[in-house]
Amino acid sequence: MRSVMRCPRDGTELAKVSIIGLELDKCHKCDGIWFDRGELEKVSHAKVQDVEELLEKKYGDPTYAEGDVHAYMRCPRCGDRLLKQHYTYLNPVSVDACHKCYGFWVDDTELDAIIGEEQELEKEDHEVRHFFGHVFKKLFKREG
């Protein structure tokens, strides 16, 4: 049997929540979310708007068992120490990463910032491609 996962920030038991077919572990006290390896990428690429708001609506006002506050943050999955890591390029968002099982702890509002940036980057990428498409069309246009 799997042991209970606890919030690395405040020790509260993490609750199962599901979004876009993924099962995530969320702390209902501080609204942080644990992402196992690969899950954060899936959510940030899925172009879901307002994930945090969706989760709040779906799982709002829960009852939870509070735990003790830890001296420093440990991975809820494997117990290894979590390390601060920059996750984004444009916005200053740092998440807490486990370098052993490759999971991420994402605090309240950080998820929306990550998804927002993903969409910004995609828009930029689209604009760049559009620009080059235009340049190439000009370059290879036969002169008549």
**Tokens (6 digits) for 82:** 């979590």
Sequence-distant (≥ 6) Cβ neighbours of residue 78 within 8 angstroms: 98, 100, 101
Going through 71-110 in order, the beta strands assigned E by DSSP cover 83-86, 94-97, 104-106
Task: Tell the smallest beta-carbon distance from residue 67 to Zn ion (Å).
Answer: 9
Task: Tell the smallest beta-carbon distance from residue 52 to Zn ion (Å).
Answer: 14
Subset of residues 33 to 72 that bind Zn ion, contact rule: CB under 5 A: none
Nearer to Zn ion, 101 or 121 (CB): 101
Among 75, 93, 97, 113, binds Zn ion (CB under 5 A): 75
Task: Tell the smallest beta-carbon distance from residue 7 to Zn ion (Å).
Answer: 3
Is residue 107 within 8 Å of 30, Cβ to Cβ? Answer: yes
Is residue 116 within 8 Å of 53, Cβ to Cβ? Answer: no
Among 20, 22, 73, 101, binds Zn ion (CB under 5 A): 101
99 interacts with Zn ion by CB under 5 A = no
98 interacts with Zn ion by CB under 5 A = yes
User: Which amino acid, one-letter code, is at 96?
Assistant: D
